Amino acid sequence: MFSQEEIKKRTGAYAADYVEQGMTIGLGTGSTVYWLLQELGKRVQSGLHFRAVPTSRQTQTLATELGIPLADLNNVDQLALTLDGADEIAPGLQLIKGGGGALLQEKIVAAASKQLIIIADENKVVNTLGKFPLPVEVIPFGWKQVQKKVMQQLGCQLVELREKNGGTFVSDHGHYILDCHFGQISDPAELNEALHLIPGVVETGLFVSMADIAVVGYADGRITTTTSTTS
């Protein structure tokens, strides 16, 4: 049986095969994507040529260290694919993302891609979204008003302002993140729309009907690929 870190390493290496010569791709953020980047860095040294749009400063820094050429999304018409992680993967490849705080940029990059390929370990697979607190990115001004509306209007059990290193977490784009404990999200599309109607909400961690393929690694050594029925 493989440890969780070994599963992530094997899954990341497996997913590197999706990157082909000459592609311009999106590179996500997270612990499994870390191992994908390590593998892609090795392949660049062996002659693989591609460009990548990073979804966070963290990914940008690591990709640069590994010699992976970067591109500006504003100079790209469309990305061939994006490889990214997820915090929860439900049936139909509905996702919760944003545990690392990069959900805004991740969603913009995913929307610019022909394919969104999610890589994760088996612990991220769930029957229903919502056990993982849903990240909602908000502007700092009036964030408590957003918090109140999410609880009162949408029935959220608990909404916490994300903190890091003893202070308020601030995203790459200068926003705050509210972690919303819904417990269970029966209709992700409806909730995503309702959250966007609240003034001050920048983006949500609900990735609805965006993922095309999920690559999932298991402790017994299996790596499975699931394709969305809407792809």
Which residues are tagged catalytic?
A: 106
How far is Cα 93 from Cα 83, in angstroms, rounded to an integer? 14
Q: Is 124 known as a binding-site position?
A: yes
Count the residues in the chain: 231
Q: Is 42 known as a binding-site position?
A: no
Q: Is 111 known as a binding-site position?
A: no
Q: Is 72 known as a binding-site position?
A: no
Q: Is 148 known as a binding-site position?
A: no
| Those residues with Cβ within 8 angstroms of residue 57's Cβ, 6 or more apart along the chain or in another chain | 172
Pick from 127, 195, 126: nearest CA to 156: 195
Residue corresponding to tokens 């590994």: 66
Pick from 93, 146, 101: nearest CA to 118: 93
Residue corresponding to tokens 């497996």: 14
Q: Is 98 known as a binding-site position?
A: yes
Q: Is 67 known as a binding-site position?
A: no
Binding residues, as ranges, are: 29-32, 84-87, 97-100, 124
Binding residues for substrate, as ranges, are: 29-32, 84-87, 97-100, 124
